[in-house]
Structure 1
């Protein structure tokens, strides 16, 4: 007996043993993927919706290994850490954490060149010392180049705050400006201290330095801005000398220095008055006032009232305490400063850095 004949192709398809793959794909497979997750199906509806799930876990080192606790650097916490054979790590205290925060602020990214002018109408308030110390603090913590320019027409002493490496002055730099093409060329005219702060000296002859004009200062900045991220200018005590108009026109920040005495505070306030009256109100509003203790505290001046006066006119008011090393008037080493002085300078540098223009 012959077996039954096989069914034709049409009858085989009619059994619907197979379905079209394009019709069997779940709709959530074809839904667009949102930017921070994958599409999920809402159980209350039949179609996919773009509900964002939690993003994928970060695979950074901190996320995978955690933030390691820093070893204590001083005090009883360090003693416990060492005496326990490094098994008990309590980390640094609040003061050390504060220093870390300020240091991070000092290291804010900076694009281009930021120009800081340090000035006061009164001499003897430590204007040059503040220029050198805050410049040294910035240079020691940041990785970019920092330079301080002596624009004092009356035989400035800024170059005495760092070891002298060259007899060259700003006048020599201007004479050879057209041939300066690299940072190594500029270094022939500057002296550098242990903090990495560089200083461009002024002329020692007052008759020559008086000729340092606004045009000369503008040309000096044109050279320095190409190679330095921070340029601090130690101004003279007069507001009307030849270079001062260019200093104020180019400055991004003013640091007004006052002593803790009555005449020092009045002179600093008079400096702000002069700036207000001559069209520099915006610079006054963003300026930083520094009350510098040039001698041990012994007077009866109410410094809280001094602070209140300058706080109403400036962006910030800070104090730098008296320090025997700074009183010497010689080369400055940050390592020889007392801890309160270093902390005050760190806070001043951090306040200066808050004025840096925002960068992406």
Structure 2
């Protein structure tokens, strides 16, 4: 057994054949007997690639994926500009005849004779001067005056238009009338607007506090006889004005205009109640009829029960006469409504107003102009917090 090469036989069996025995490893002469041989050296490129033992031992980390570029936000596109729409269909315009002056020839003649023969002329001048001084009072911040009624057809829009024309005539600061009654509102017709483009809802989407006055007025309609108009709709059925849009527009516009007249919807609409609560003075328009006065008295009692804000102290009732044949005693009706502690101003029958269509200040009757001045002065005093 001593001469048997069992190691070689084992290697050949492992290789699966009877080939030549593997040569014995050559031991370098520099290594003395009994010392282990040196480990074979690694290739140069592999050795150079390992900087430190720790780096060579650690597994290679996958490369971090390149950061994807963050897409730039899409530019905010400006709101599309609405197409101007005439407030009245041009095919209907030929049906409207030129309205007559508010006072008849006989009434104008009587008034002229009375001024010549009596001392009423000086009283009229003094009254007109007092009204003008009240209407020209300076305001430090924008004042809001809301006009509403208990039902349609009471003359609410006509009163709002009269107030706008009155303030614009007497005041130097800008005056705005805003239509918060978008359901087929007629304010653009009464103020002879050439076209309706931007509405209150449209303006709420684009207005911001950084706008200058010239930018803001670019979205409004300039009234020929003075003041600015913001319509509520373009005359389409079903148009709505939501409370957030109304609040946004009113908060933004109040710093540009000394006085803003708001033509509200009829009570008890939520938007009308919001406008009444946010305004500095209020007009409750009532027709000069038994039904109108009775319903208005009920609304005044409701307003007296509202705890905050107190609505009744800043309210004026405008009693409108839409026909020359009305038989209501306006003096007795005013006393009845005045029991609630409010002021009543009667807007007399005026042929020019009753005919509908655009209102021309020069065509209004003398008593109508005086009544509009009384109403405007009373409201401005209330808006400025002055006692009655």
Contact 2:144–2:383 (CA under 8 A) maintained in structure 1: no
1:182 aligns with 2:212: yes
TM-score by length of 2: 0.65
Once the two structures are TM-superposed, the CA of residue 314 in structure 1 deviates from its matched residue by 4.0
Once the two structures are TM-superposed, the CA of residue 215 in structure 1 deviates from its matched residue by 1.6
Of 210, 229, 236, 1:199 maps to 229
2-side partners of 1:311 and 1:280: how far apart? 22
1-side partners of 2:210 and 2:190: how far apart? 25
The residue that corresponds to 2:294 in the other structure is 266
Once the two structures are TM-superposed, the CA of residue 263 in structure 1 deviates from its matched residue by 1.3
The residue that corresponds to 2:178 in the other structure is 149
Once the two structures are TM-superposed, the CA of residue 95 in structure 1 deviates from its matched residue by 1.1
2-side partners of 1:142 and 1:290: how far apart? 22
Gaps of 5+ in 2: 1-110
Per mean C-alpha deviation after superposition, the further-off stretch among 121-130 and 195-204 is 195-204
The residue that corresponds to 1:101 in the other structure is 130
Contact 2:204–2:246 (CA under 8 A) maintained in structure 1: no
Once the two structures are TM-superposed, the CA of residue 231 in structure 1 deviates from its matched residue by 0.9
The residue that corresponds to 1:347 in the other structure is 374
2-side partners of 1:326 and 1:78: how far apart? 25
1-side partners of 2:361 and 2:220: how far apart? 20
TM-score by length of 1: 0.69
The residue that corresponds to 1:338 in the other structure is 365
The residue that corresponds to 2:150 in the other structure is 121
The residue that corresponds to 1:9 in the other structure is none
Once the two structures are TM-superposed, the CA of residue 335 in structure 1 deviates from its matched residue by 0.7
Alignment of 1:1-360 (within 5 A): 93-165=122-194, 166-178=196-208, 181-203=211-233, 204-209=235-240, 212-241=241-270, 243-279=271-307, 282-299=310-327, 301-357=328-384
Once the two structures are TM-superposed, the CA of residue 280 in structure 1 deviates from its matched residue by 5.3
2-side partners of 1:216 and 1:275: how far apart? 25
Q: Report the number of matched residues.
A: 273
List structure 1 segments (4+ residues) > 4 angstroms apart after TM superposition: 74-80
Render the CA deviation track for 1:177-223: whole Å, top value 9, x for unaligned.
Answer: 138601112222222223312211012334232xx222211101112
Render the CA deviation track for 1:277-336: whole Å, top value 9, x for unaligned.
Answer: 44357221221111111111432x232221112212243111111111111221111111
Greater RCO between the two (CA within 8 Å, min separation 6)? 2
Larger-Rg structure: 2
Once the two structures are TM-superposed, the CA of residue 93 in structure 1 deviates from its matched residue by 1.6
Contact 1:133–1:345 (CA under 8 A) maintained in structure 2: yes
Per mean C-alpha deviation after superposition, the further-off stretch among 126-135 and 229-238 is 229-238
**Residues 79 and 266 from structure 1, CA distance in 2 versus in 1: closer, same or farther, beyond 3 angstroms?**
closer
1-side partners of 2:126 and 2:153: how far apart? 35
Contact 1:255–1:287 (CA under 8 A) maintained in structure 2: yes
SS at match of 1:112: coil
SS at match of 1:227: coil
**Residues 345 and 160 from structure 1, CA distance in 2 versus in 1: closer, same or farther, beyond 3 angstroms?**
same
Contact 1:288–1:314 (CA under 8 A) maintained in structure 2: no
2-side partners of 1:267 and 1:341: how far apart? 24
Per mean C-alpha deviation after superposition, the further-off stretch among 254-263 and 184-193 is 184-193
SS at match of 2:224: coil
Gaps of 5+ in 1: 1-73, 81-89
Per mean C-alpha deviation after superposition, the further-off stretch among 271-280 and 113-122 is 271-280
1-side partners of 2:297 and 2:227: how far apart? 29
1-side partners of 2:156 and 2:297: how far apart? 15
2-side partners of 1:78 and 1:245: how far apart? 45
2-side partners of 1:316 and 1:123: how far apart? 22
